[in-house]
Structure 1
Amino acid sequence: MLDLFLLGFIGLLLACGLKRPFIWVLAYIYIDIVAPQKIGWSIIQAIPVSLIAFLAAFAGWVLLDGKKGSRFTFRQGLMLALLLYCGMTTLTAAFPDSAWDKWDWVWKALLFAIFLPLTLRTKLRLEAAVLFIVLAVGTIAINGGIKTIFGGGGYGTLSLLVDENAGLYEGSIISTVAICIIPLALWLARHGTIFKPDWKVWGFTAGLIFACLLIPVGTGARTGLVCIAVLGVLLLRSVRYRFVYAGAAALAMMAAIPFLPQSYLERMGTIAGYESDQSASTRLAVWEWTIGYAKANPLGGGFDAYRANSFTYQTRTVSGEGASRQVTYNTVTEEGRAYHSSYFELLGEQGWIGLGLWLWLQALGLWHMERLRWRLGKLEGGKRSWQWGLATALQQAHIVFLVGALFVGIAYQPFLFMLVGLQCGLWSYVRRTEEPASRAKFKPCEPKPEAPAPAA
């Protein structure tokens, strides 16, 4: 029954795309994030729904959709360069089998992100893409939030829609992404036209935000707590009453602490004491190994090059207090441990060139959104415009993701490249619609030709 429902929903989206081809783009966003083919039990697993939607999105734009207003931006060129570079390192990868397995989904994430801005020609399309991303991630977050409330959480034990520890269904990754969509959900609640702002929309938005905040609790992911703190600071830039917001946030945090599980509080307490935490010590050792590996292999070792690592380190455990305080050191040897950081993931797999391309892509996106905020903010009522609000939300989501990426290997996560695609689409839209009007406004007036003198 579940398979038939999922297939029916996907079929409905594909059928609607016959009249509006852009819906096929939205269908792929939904499938890529939620992965309904993994949720079902039988029929849907045998149908390549992701590939069908992927091909339909491209074919629909090429054959049926309008091209007026579509622009290829410099950042899309950077993604194309990164895609080609990743293909080159895959051909020479240190571990070819696993490298080709990772390449199978990385190239689709990059190619779709390059393609996505070409379809985002109107405000409605930008809003629809944001809406599908928020609702798709919200599908996972709401499920996890409900299970957390009823005691189904815990580090490595929270069961989401898919019973696997990969992609958006991995605890640290979904904790990061769930916090990322909060500013996008707030933007939809303020400026949405598909679902116009009213008490029902704001009620759903409040519930969705609450569910997103519960995900780091349910998964026990320390990365999620860091992302919440970063988002809290970022929101200070855009809220009207900053002191009221800061006070309300502090009160909410103090009120929530007594209701948090003791296991979650104990795990969050290990953030400061990395020497006693084997997981944190492993990450530091992997990062140190990766730097050495990049020095020996400046062009990178291809996807999953971490499988070559091997290192030994010590952990420190303190027991007792005062005169009975004892410090115990344990020697640990590890092999083939993942990077646990997107930045070191890029460095080890794509070398200094790949890391440089990736960082350039991210930094340019933050700068472009800041430029839009600055330009639109100078206009009368500009800070109340949907463009300013979307630029702010995309920048906040992007920063939160990049902070989470410090501790999780999500450098090629499709959600990140969807954010980049939205930024490119918004950047192109504003330049196309605002700059001509601005140039016309400040264009110097040409002197009118003098009237001919009357005949004598």
Structure 2
Amino acid sequence: MRDILVTLIVFGWLPFVFKKPYMGALMWVWISVMNPHTQGWGFATTFPFAAIIAGVTITSLLITKEPKNLPLTPVTWTFIIFVLWMNLSTVFAIYPDETYIQWNKVMKIMLMSFVVIMLIRTQKQIQLLIWTIVISLGYYGIKGGVFTLLGGGVDLVMGPESTFIEGNNEIALALIMTIPLMHYVQMISRKTWVKHAMTAAMLLSAFAALGSYSRGALLAIAAMGGFLWLKSQHKGRIALLVILAILPAIAYMPEQWMQRMDSINTYEEDASVQGRFNAWWMAYNLAKDRPLTGGGFDIISPELFFAYAPNPEDIHAAHSIYFQALGEHGFVGLGLYLLLGWLTWRTGSWIIRNTSKLDEYRWAFNLATMIQVSFIGFATGGAFLSLLYFDVPYYLMGAMVATRVLVEKELKQKTMSAIAAKTSGSSRQLGQLSPSQSQPIAGDSS
């Protein structure tokens, strides 16, 4: 039944994409983030929904008469260069034959990220994009939260199989990132039931994140909460929320969860943590040998760990977006990735600064703030996970760029209209001078 439902939704939606290409972008985000076909057990699990949606969306983009240019901002230029650098590092990869599968997967994600940025342009489309992400990940948050509550937090919450967020740590970080977006939906909605539904979804998603037993998720929650508290004008409310919701949720978790979280303080004795450190040193030492392009995709091999890792027998993935970028794409690749994050953050700060006192752009102010909160969570939790190519941060980057372009354009138009009105008013005043002011003085021979 689930297979049939997903198939009906996808093929029922496709005809609308030719009329409104942005709907194809939204459908791509839904299928790539939620991966609803993985929730079935039949033909849909291997059916190429993503390829079909991408093909239809790109075709509609090419034939549409609607504006379809890529907004060329510092963020998008850096994104373009970063993607090109990934291709260059692939050309000079240590294992060029083995990199193709991962390169092919990553380039599809990057291509569709550009398509999303090109098609999502208006306030309505931006908000629909956020709604799509919230629904896609909120499904797992609600499901995982109920699972944690009913099971007493004993069993781990896991993500959908064969996806970026399959593991317990990965799904936890994805849910942590989604909570601020849920709060944004709550703020912009006028319907009471939506506000209450988002409150329930946020609480259940928090329980699901705790039920993942992810220590990185706990650090991400702390970092997000601290940032939100510093920026908020309602610090008392946030403190009250921690006392009434967060602390009881933590107290609800079993003793084994407490022991897992307490191991943060004894990381020297934790084999998993030491394995991460070993992988980080391997990536760093490899980048020292190949500082420009790194080793390319898929550098996890016994040979490279033997050559560059302190413990050659402890072979791990990078488990860090930063060391993943460093090992696979060199210091230049890491620098571009960090620059991309910094420029996206600055874009959000520009939106916040220029809309803070404008009620009609309160949606943009709240969106930029909540995306920044989400990025704090990703930057913190991502330090311990190999999620460099996770698509949600790139979609949020696109939402931030689209919001700034839209706000900046409208503010400029208002400024020009105000100047034109002022100039027109001055001209009318000059044309309405009294006769004594505009006529020659009696006796004047001129």
Deviation digits for residues 88-107 of structure 1, max 9, x if unmatched? 21122222344212112211
Which secondary structure does the structure 1 equivalent of 2:394 belong to?
helix
Separation in 1 of the partners of 2:136 and 2:364? 23
How far apart are 1:233 and its partner, in Å? 1.5
Q: How does 1:34-73 map onto structure 2 within 5 Å?
A: 34-64=34-64, 66-67=66-67, 71-73=71-73
Separation in 1 of the partners of 2:334 and 2:381? 17
Matched, 1:354 2:333: yes
| Structure (1 or 2) with the greater helix fraction | 2
Deviation digits for residues 406-450 of structure 1, max 9, x if unmatched? 111111111111111111111111111122213444677486395
Matched, 1:173 2:170: yes
Matched, 1:300 2:294: yes
Structure 2 match to 1:269 = 262
How far apart are 1:7 and its partner, in Å? 0.6
Which secondary structure does the structure 2 equivalent of 1:409 belong to?
coil
Matched, 1:376 2:355: yes
Structure 2 match to 1:396 = 373
Separation in 2 of the partners of 1:278 and 1:69? 49
Alignment CA distance shift 1:261-1:422 (3 Å) = same
Matched, 1:182 2:185: no
Deviates more, 1:287-296 or 1:91-100: 91-100
Q: Which amino acid aligns with 1:375?
A: N
Alignment CA distance shift 1:89-1:68 (3 Å) = closer
Structure 2 match to 1:366 = 345
Q: Which amino acid aligns with 1:182?
A: I
User: Contact 1:21–1:65 (CA<8 Å) still a contact in 2?
Assistant: no
- Of the three residues 172, 191, 195, the one matched with 1:198 is 191
Matched, 1:219 2:212: yes
Separation in 2 of the partners of 1:264 and 1:373? 38
| Structure (1 or 2) with the greater strand fraction | 1
Q: Could you list the runs of 5+ residues in structure 2 that have no partner in the other structure?
A: none
Structure 1 match to 2:415 = 438
User: Contact 1:16–1:23 (CA<8 Å) still a contact in 2?
Assistant: yes
Number of aligned residue pairs: 429
Separation in 2 of the partners of 1:104 and 1:69? 24
Deviates more, 1:181-190 or 1:43-52: 43-52
Structure 2 match to 1:316 = none
Separation in 1 of the partners of 2:285 and 2:88? 22
How far apart are 1:257 and its partner, in Å? 3.3
Matched, 1:290 2:269: no
User: Contact 2:169–2:216 (CA<8 Å) still a contact in 1?
Assistant: yes
User: Contact 1:391–1:423 (CA<8 Å) still a contact in 2?
Assistant: yes
Higher Rg of the two aligned structures: 2
User: Contact 1:3–1:40 (CA<8 Å) still a contact in 2?
Assistant: yes
How far apart are 1:2 and its partner, in Å? 2.0
Which secondary structure does the structure 2 equivalent of 1:385 belong to?
helix
User: Contact 2:279–2:309 (CA<8 Å) still a contact in 1?
Assistant: no
Alignment CA distance shift 1:407-1:72 (3 Å) = same
Q: CA RMSD in A?
A: 2.5
Separation in 1 of the partners of 2:153 and 2:15? 38
Which secondary structure does the structure 2 equivalent of 1:273 belong to?
helix
User: Contact 2:285–2:309 (CA<8 Å) still a contact in 1?
Assistant: no
Structure 1 match to 2:238 = 245
The TM-score, its normalising length taken from structure 1, stands at 0.87
Alignment CA distance shift 1:259-1:433 (3 Å) = same
Which secondary structure does the structure 2 equivalent of 1:300 belong to?
coil
Alignment CA distance shift 1:263-1:97 (3 Å) = farther
Structure 1 match to 2:114 = 114
How far apart are 1:260 and its partner, in Å? 0.7
Structure 2 match to 1:327 = none
How far apart are 1:13 and its partner, in Å? 2.0
User: Contact 2:275–2:315 (CA<8 Å) still a contact in 1?
Assistant: no
Structure 2 match to 1:279 = 272
